[in-house]
Amino acid sequence: MRNRTIGGVAVGAIGLGGMPMSIEGRPEEDRSIRTIHAALDAGVTLIDTANAYHLNAGETGHNERLIAKALATYPGDTSDVLVATKGGHIRPGDGSWQVDGSPAHLRQAAEASLKALGVDVIGLYQFHRPDPRIPYAESVGVLKELLDEGKIRLAGISNATIDQINIARRVLGEQNLASVQNQFSPAFRSSEDELAYCAELGIAFLPFSPLGGIARAGQLGSRHAAFQQVADVYGVSPQQVTLAWMLAKAPVVIPIPGASRPESITDSAQAADLTLTAAELAQLDQS
């Protein structure tokens, strides 16, 4: 798989989002392990997780531990795999998602993630979601401390606006904001400005839920039918076309499609080798 970079670290152009393997509807552990191994087989070297990717109370870090187990049991070399995790979200076990961006919580969350992942240094640590009760600079300040202490290799933010990107750059140092992870898909394009801003600054942009809505692309009247039409031309899935369309937007884009089946991530990974024409890209932009 061709590579892109996050903070100077080379990773495969398509990553893997671990959330579906640990939240509602999650599969048996064996299938999740096989999914992660299939991603590694396909050349994926960026795996995204979070301490909040779990279902029940008392199992914070479920997805982190799952990824650690999958990496430990993989028969090949995993030394080039960058595991990105996040702190700042909380799941109390009642199905809700809550936020806690307090410095005390973020520090505790980072320490817990180090243990769950079984590492001395977290590859990429991201502030998961802004907490309206806490000044953004205070939350991001914890990431600066963790960088200075050598507990994280790279720092990133998620669900961020352009103003928050600028705050993070000031707090971390202009060259120390490695990534921005926002929702972006054919059905959800409101982060287009943040994507363009990251491209201008050379900051990796990690679209999460990049395949949102694309499963219905072939349905009559779907606003995403253009993705199916292009897929038919190449004999590939609309999911591959979607990811190739994102990759073409800027060299900083690294989609992280979630998967819970080996077949899904194997298909998605092939998007790194799919090159669309300028006319096709324009057609998809307008769909």
> Environment class of residue 213 by beta-carbon count within 10 Å: exposed (0-12), middle (13-18) or buried (19+)?
middle
Distance CA 58, CA 70 (A): 21
Read off the DSSP letter of residue 173.
-
Q: Which residue has the tokens 């921005």?
A: 180
| Closest-CA residue to 202 (of 181, 175, 182) | 175
Known catalytic residue: 234? Answer: no
Q: Each residue of 168-190: b (16+ CB within 10 Å) or e?
A: bbebbeeebbbbbbbbbbbebee
Contact 5, 246 (CB under 8 A): no
User: CA 69 to CA 52: how far, in whole Å?
Assistant: 17
Per the document, the length of the chain is: 287
Which residues sit opposite 5 in a β-bridge?
Answer: 10
What is the residue whose two structure tokens read 């352009």?
Answer: 162
Per-residue exposure over 121-151, b if at least 16 CB sit within 10 Å of its own CB, e if not: ebbbbbbbbbbeebebeebbbbbbebbeeeb
Contact (Cβ atoms closer than 8 angstroms) between residue 271 and residue 239: yes
The answer to whether residues 11 and 46 touch, using CB atoms and an 8 Å cutoff, is yes
Task: Report, as residue numbers or ranges, the catalytic residues.
Answer: 53
